[in-house]
Amino acid sequence: MGFSIEGKTAIVTGAANGIGLAIGRHFIDKGANVVFADMDEAKLADEVGETKDDGPARYFAGDLRERLTLANLLSATLDAFDRVDILVNGSRQILSSDPLDMDDETVETLLQQNLLTSLRLSQLVARRMIKQGEGQEEGQLGSIVNVSSIAARRTHPELLAYSVSTAALDQMTRSLAVALAPHRIRVNGVAFGSVMSASLKGALKENREFRSEIEDNTPLGRIASPGELAEATQFLASEGAGFVTGQIMTVDGGRTLVDPVTAPAH
């Protein structure tokens, strides 16, 4: 069976840069058709480049927080490739603030971006996968992979809203996995630690000591490349993971295994 996704059609959100872009490009390299979706049309056009009607790549730009935009995204995917087999919910946002001064808008923004957008698109895509599978008695009908973060399990007060939104995303993953299992649709998540995304690159430029701090608190002693997260996502999307659902795969170099407190435990 292997981990092949060749010939499959995937929607990847948050695909204009960083992790989402890496996942989309990796899927193309592995023979899948991919619709790169994001709010930033200029960045999408620059990164994905000119697309061909008979090529494996398309891009879709729009405010993915809007229900109509999500419906249009699915329609554009079906127009291009007639079906959808894989959904990667990679659209996310990180905002930090003092918990004592945090306003409702910050929490609402992150819940909308990191949770509700993924839930709404998952519902739409799952219905399409079920329809595609009518008359098909065996085999996987589809796979949904949610890009999450170890922030869901770690305590970072300044990332309170982000941590809450990713924890909610993880619970959504587990709940949808059970709900969609009878339809042979698997739902999993990838929780990452420090990945060399565009935002992290910017943070490292501003604070050179930050890199050493991350590496010192990661047992494998380095920062992951976006491609490594893409590999994990491919595994979960493939039929090689056909008996895996409701799981949050941690890709963090062992960071969640160690106590970051430097003081002795006794």
Task: Please name the helix (run of DSSP H) or strand (run of DSSP E) that holds residue 189, with its range, or none.
Answer: strand 185-192
Q: Is residue 28 part of a domain?
A: yes
Query: Is residue 81 in some structural domain?
Result: yes
In 3D space, the residue among 244, 134, 132, 265 whose CA is nearest the CA of residue 186 turns out to be 244
Give whole-number Cα distances, 246 to 6, 23, 175, 186, 240, in Å.
Answer: 24, 20, 7, 7, 15
Structural domain includes residue 4: no
* 259 within domain boundaries: no
Which residues, other chains included, contact 62 with Cβ-Cβ below 8 Å and sequence gap of 6+?
Answer: 37, 39, 69, 72, 73
* Virtual torsion, Cα 148, 67, 7, 143, nearest 10 deg: 40
pLDDT at residue 99, rounded to an integer: 67
Distance, in Å, from the CA atom of 12 to the CA atom of 47, rounded to the nearest integer, reads 14
The pLDDT of residue 204 is: 79
260 inside domain: no
pLDDT of amino acid 18: 87
Is 189 inside a domain boundary? Answer: yes
| Predicted pLDDT at 41 | 92
Residue 224 lies in a domain: yes
Considering the domain boundaries, does residue 262 fall inside one?
Answer: no
What is the C-alpha to C-alpha distance for residues 233 and 248, in angstroms, rounded to an integer?
Answer: 11
Residue 60 near residue 69 (C-beta atoms within 8 A): no
Structural domain containing residue 139 = 9-253
Is the Cβ–Cβ distance between 192 and 163 less than 8 Å? no
Residue type, 71: A
User: Could you give the number of structural domains in the chain?
Assistant: 1
CA distances, 176 to each of 61, 170, 171, 213 (Å):
26, 10, 9, 36
Whole-angstrom Cα distance, residue 54 to residue 71? Answer: 23
Mean pLDDT per block of 10 residues along the chain (266 residues) reads: 90 93 96 96 89 89 96 98 97 70 80 94 98 84 95 83 92 98 97 82 78 88 91 96 97 85 46
Q: What is the pLDDT of residue 100?
A: 59
CATH of the domain at 240: 3.40.50.720
Cβ-proximal residues to 92 (8 Å cutoff; 6+ apart), any chain: 14, 113, 114, 147, 149, 166
C-alpha–C-alpha distance, residues 218 and 250, integer Å = 13
Per-residue pLDDT, 213: 86
